[in-house]
Amino acid sequence: MDLVEIFNDVFKTPKDDDMIDRLNHTYTRLILILFAVIVCTEQYAGSPINCWTPPQFKGIFLINDIDNYAKYTQKICWIQNTYRIPMNKTIPETNNYQGKLQLRYYQWAPFIFLTLSLFYFLPCLFWRANNKKYGLNLKTIVDIGNKYHEADDNKKKDEQIKIITKHFNRYLENKKYTKGNLFCFPSKLQSLTAVYITSKVLYLLNAVAQLFLTDLLLCNGEIKFYGLFLLRNAVFGIQTQSELFPRVAYCDFYVREMGQEINGHRYTVQCVLSINLYLEAIFAFYWFWLCLLIFLNLKNTIMWCWHILSTWNTKAYIHKYIRPELRSNLDLLIENPKYMVTHFIDNYLDADGIFVMRLISQNISHVVATDLISALYENYKIIEVGKRINNVESISDRELSNLDFLSN
């Protein structure tokens, strides 16, 4: 078993959507959780901040070779925030200046990443909470389809395909009695397809919103496209000190001793924020990842809308999966086979059925989709031919009764 299979087994999720959806709600979420773990490890197991302390702090109250004053300085500066001052500026004697340049984010970085990861799962929750309301459990169908795909015995394959066909047939029959559709979408976007396209739009909006929020955070409240700024600096060899992720910051704290004034003695120390090396690299990677995610989400959403709304594309897709070699004796009773296929696509499968077929094809295999569509089509032909035979028999009975009436 290779690393990819191990990874898939550990992070296995129900395949009731497509790969781009899983890229959002599974892989991006795992990336953000990994970021939170990296930063949290640096905070609690590493040295996120190291402060230069005055000479009088050295060698005072040494316990187990640990300078308690220096240790206290690092702890207090980590907890109460630091502030940035350019090297060409004078350190102010009061606290008025530092309020504008305080660095308040790095203690909360793990929680920020975990919160961002939750937003990627909301569209997935919306999709899974709503798709079961329409009587079609996609997870169950995909699981049975996988069993069909893995079965070696033809008898087992027939059993699995019958279960899927029965389940799917019951859903399509029940759907005929369901009036209206979600959010008043066009008839092409009925129930399941409406929910799925809505989840696609939510994934896209989430990625766009997070990109702009990240840009606002990294560019001090302005939209400057942080990633392009980094690329420009890399191309032209410009080295700039990040205002948001400074390597060097300052910290003020007060120490009160017996008999001193109320505020105590103020100390200003210079600190190295080594954690900013990680945060700057992480946010830069995340900015470019969001750009990639927006592109893939937009492309994927447009593709699904085209697949669903294009009548020509829909009919071509189903025709491709109906195998001509499986023609049965029922075809002899069908006057217009082409009309039967069109009727099967428009009135039996419709948008929801074709949408499910596409998901099965993507998540299992084209072979399973072919066998399932062929089985559904054969079942549909049996139903339609049965209806016509019943109509013919009823007409014949009426004609016989009319002849009996005339003869009398």
DSSP per position, 342-368: HHIIIIIIHHHHHHHHHHHHHHT-HHH
What pLDDT sits at residue 3? 52
Burial of 66: CB neighbours in 10 Å, binned 0-12, 13-18, 19+: exposed
With both helix axes pointing from N to C terminus, report the angle between 154-175 and 138-150 in degrees, rounded to the nearest 10: 160
User: At 267, is the secondary structure helix, strand, or coil?
Assistant: strand
Query: What is residue 293's predicted lDDT score, i.e. its pLDDT?
Result: 96
The strand pairing partners of 268, in sequence order, are 252
Segment holding 229, helix H or strand E: helix 226-236
Please state the domain extents for the chain: 14-87+98-177+189-308, 310-407
Which pair of structure tokens corresponds to residue 182?
């979600």
Highest mean pLDDT among 176-180, 193-197, 218-222: 193-197
Question: Rounded to an integer, what distance in angstroms lies between the CA atom of residue 260 and that of residue 185?
Answer: 74
Cα–Cα distance measured from residue 116 to residue 287, given in angstroms and rounded to the nearest whole number: 13
With 50 as the cut, is the pLDDT of residue 256 above it?
yes
In the chain, count H helices and then E strands. 14, 7
Residue 171: both structure tokens together: 């859903």
The radius of gyration of the chain from alpha carbons, rounded to an integer in Å, stands at 33
pLDDT at 187: 46
pLDDT number for residue 121: 93
Q: Can you give the pTM of this predicted structure?
A: 0.80
| Residues 124, 27 contacting (CB under 8 angstroms) | no
Q: With 50 as the cut, is the pLDDT of residue 68 above it? A: yes
Q: Band the pLDDT of 317: cuts 50, 70, 90.
A: confident
- Percent of the chain surpassing pLDDT 70: 72
The residue that leads in pLDDT, 325 or 39, is 39
Whether the per-residue pLDDT at 65 is higher than 70: the answer is: no
Of residues 331 and 72, the one with the higher pLDDT is 72
SS3 256: coil
Averaged pLDDT of the chain? 76
Band of pLDDT at residue 398, cut at 50, 70 and 90:
very low
The pLDDT of residue 81 is 76
Per DSSP bridges, beta strands 265-272 and 50-52 are: antiparallel
% of the chain residues with pLDDT over 90: 18
Question: Which range (17-26, 56-65, 95-104, 288-297) has the least confidence?
Answer: 56-65
DSSP letters of 153-169?
SHHHHHHHHHHHHHHHH
pLDDT of 178 reads 56
Output the six-digit token pair for 384: 């339609």
- What pLDDT is recorded for position 29? 94
DSSP letter, residue 25 = I
pLDDT digits (tens, 9 = 90+) for 196-239: 999 999 999 999 999 988 888 776 656 567 777 777 777 776 66
